[in-house]
Amino acid sequence: MLKRLVNEAHFTLNITTTGPLLIKSSHATVSGPDMTPVLTYRNNDWEVYLPGSSLKGVFRSHLEKVSRTLRPNPPVVCNPFWALKDKANENNGRLACPDYGQLSCSDKFERRRKKEFKLQQTWQHPEEKIDNVTAYEESCPICRLFGSTEFTGRISINDAYLVRSTARKPTEQRDGVGIDRLTGGAFPGALFNLEVVSAGTMFTTDIHLRNFEIWQLGMVLLAVQDMADGLLQVGSGKSRGLGSVKGEIATGVTINHIGQIPDKNSDKKPDRTSHQVWGLGRFLNDDSYGTQKQVLDTKGKVKEQGDVLDLIHLPQIEQRGIRQQAIFSGDSLVDLREQAIAQFVQRMDTWSVPPKMSDFAQLGFRR
């Protein structure tokens, strides 16, 4: 997205199963359980793991729900499975479209490039070439963080591998049976069995944010907090009691910036102090990419901080070559999480929404 690397956040997440968990393998077994977990070859052996794509999907789905709850009307989050129809339906009519903001961001940009958005037969979108700045600025909050077909996201989540200190066998077999809808008992011949990851199994993964805004960091930390509270489930069979997990940040959150904060005794006046965390908007400070910049009053005093956090509890600061590294743990991590989540909530409340589909020509959509 950017040609520069202005900030990074990284932390290790430990995920412990609190109940049986199953992320089903796509490979059928000739003998053995009907459903088995995904495996990877690691450390000279086959072992269970949690794919990063599955974890990213869980995070994205959960944050979509949270964002829609914080801002239900008008909605600020797109539906990745809604797209415009090319033709009328079989009844020679058209379905009423939802709000423009709910259409898939990927589909919106694709249609704009094809010049297919028109208003009352006269309006044509002025921007036909979709560059990275436009794509990021006009994407919904979730697509800004997780990405779309138009550009890559700000977050990457690695595969979660089994922690070797786990002393017990990580899988177990369970039996299931289909229920006769008439009698309410077991249906003859409907027995099946599945292999699941046992409760108490620990996995570890790395989560990395690049060129993030503060509210995006708040979104991620909110998802981690909800996982710590047992509110997120992973894998299949959630309605049957599978997929319960708890997550915990292993050691702390590390935030990197390239460059060094000037010493307080230096003649150069520092812009960023050690008690501040800057987001992408403050580094750019020009409203580009739809970010928030610092606003000064007529006397040159700060009126709005913009994309900045002012910390109460200072992190541990280290200089690693050209990287200035802030390590948040304990009280400083709690402070970072609470303030970043508060900025996320505030950002959703002030997010500018696209025009309604009623402002466009009556086009159909498919689900």
> Could you tell me the pTM of the whole model?
0.84
Dist. CA 70–CA 276, nearest whole Å:
27
Residues 59, 231 contacting (CB under 8 angstroms): no
Ranges assigned E (strand) in the chain: 8-17, 39-42, 45-50, 83-84, 118-119, 123-124, 155-157, 160-162, 171-179, 186-197, 202-210, 245-249, 253-258, 276-278, 295-296, 302-304, 308-310, 316-320, 323-328, 365-366
Residues 123, 126, 131: CA angle, nearest 5 degrees: 145
Query: Mean pLDDT, to the nearest integer, of 72-100?
Result: 61
So what's the pLDDT on residue 89? 39
Query: In terms of pLDDT, which residue wins out, 74 or 176?
Result: 74
The confidence band for 108, taking pLDDT boundaries of 50, 70 and 90, is confident
So what's the pLDDT on residue 160? 95
Highest mean pLDDT among 101-110, 170-179, 188-197, 198-207: 198-207
Query: In terms of pLDDT, which residue wins out, 205 or 304?
Result: 205
The answer to whether residue 308 scores a pLDDT higher than 50 is yes
Query: Mean pLDDT, to the nearest integer, of 140-154?
Result: 91
Dist. CA 222–CA 22, nearest whole Å:
24
Range with the poorest average pLDDT among 165-169, 223-227, 304-308: 165-169
So what's the pLDDT on residue 93? 40
Rounded-to-10 torsion of CA 134, 136, 140, 144: 170
- Going from the C-alpha of 304 to that of each of 120, 142, 218, 286, 343, the distances in angstroms are 39, 25, 19, 14, 13
The answer to whether residue 144 scores a pLDDT higher than 90 is yes
The CB density around residue 176, as the number of other CB atoms within 10 Å, is 14
Dist. CA 62–CA 240, nearest whole Å:
19
So what's the pLDDT on residue 91? 40
So what's the pLDDT on residue 95? 40
Residues 198, 204, 210: CA angle, nearest 5 degrees: 145
Dist. CA 253–CA 207, nearest whole Å:
10
Dist. CA 48–CA 31, nearest whole Å:
19
Range with the poorest average pLDDT among 87-96, 113-122, 339-348: 87-96
The answer to whether residue 142 scores a pLDDT higher than 90 is yes
- Output the DSSP codes for 129-185: S--HHHHHHTS-HHHHHHB-SSSB-SEEE--EEEPTT--S-SEEEEEEEEEPTTTSS
- Going from the C-alpha of 210 to that of each of 8, 90, 146, the distances in angstroms are 5, 46, 11
Residues 205, 55 contacting (CB under 8 angstroms): yes
> Minimal CA–CA distance to 237: which of 196, 184, 186, 201?
196
Place of tokens 């992320």: 23
So what's the pLDDT on residue 290? 86
So what's the pLDDT on residue 362? 45
Residues 14, 247 contacting (CB under 8 angstroms): yes
So what's the pLDDT on residue 28? 58
Query: Mean pLDDT, to the nearest integer, of 107-111?
Result: 79
Query: Mean pLDDT, to the nearest integer, of 315-328?
Result: 89
Average pLDDT of the chain is 80
Residues 71, 92 contacting (CB under 8 angstroms): no
The confidence band for 132, taking pLDDT boundaries of 50, 70 and 90, is confident
Range with the poorest average pLDDT among 27-31, 192-196, 275-279: 27-31
Query: Mean pLDDT, to the nearest integer, of 224-250?
Result: 92
The confidence band for 255, taking pLDDT boundaries of 50, 70 and 90, is very high
> Minimal CA–CA distance to 255: which of 59, 6, 4?
6
Cβ-defined contacts of 298-305 (< 8 Å, 24+): none
